[in-house]
């Protein structure tokens, strides 16, 4: 049962891209709720929510790819 190193590095890259989004998303959402009087409130909130959803998707995709590389589907 050998590990597919190409798929494993692809999964790690997905997780590496998800890591900054894990921090950027909640801080953007917090910033949007603090500055409710600003005209850009809804745009910043939408970008923050998109970052959070994208982070969860990339984490799921990365873990799925890593499991596929380890257990040879």
pLDDT digits (tens, 9 = 90+) for 21-73: 999 999 999 999 999 898 899 999 999 999 999 999 999 999 999 999 998 75
pLDDT digits (tens, 9 = 90+) for 4-25: 899 999 999 999 999 999 999 9
* The token pair that represents 71 in the structure block: 């257990």
* The token pair that represents 33 in the structure block: 């709720």
Range of the domain at 16: 5-71
| Number of domains the chain contains | 1
Residue 67 confidence (pLDDT): 93
Residue 2 pLDDT greater than 90, yes or no: no
Give me the sign of the Cα torsion angle 51, 49, 55, 26.
positive
């Amino acid at each position: 049962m050998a590990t597919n190193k190409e798929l494993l590095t692809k999964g790690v890259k997905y997780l590496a891209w998800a890591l900054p989004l894990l921090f950027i998303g909640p801080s953007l959402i917090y910033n949007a709720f603090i500055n409710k009087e600003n005209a850009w409130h809804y745009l910043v909130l939408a970008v923050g929510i998109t970052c959070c959803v994208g982070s969860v998707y990339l984490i799921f995709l990365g873990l799925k790819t890593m499991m596929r590389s380890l257990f040879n589907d």
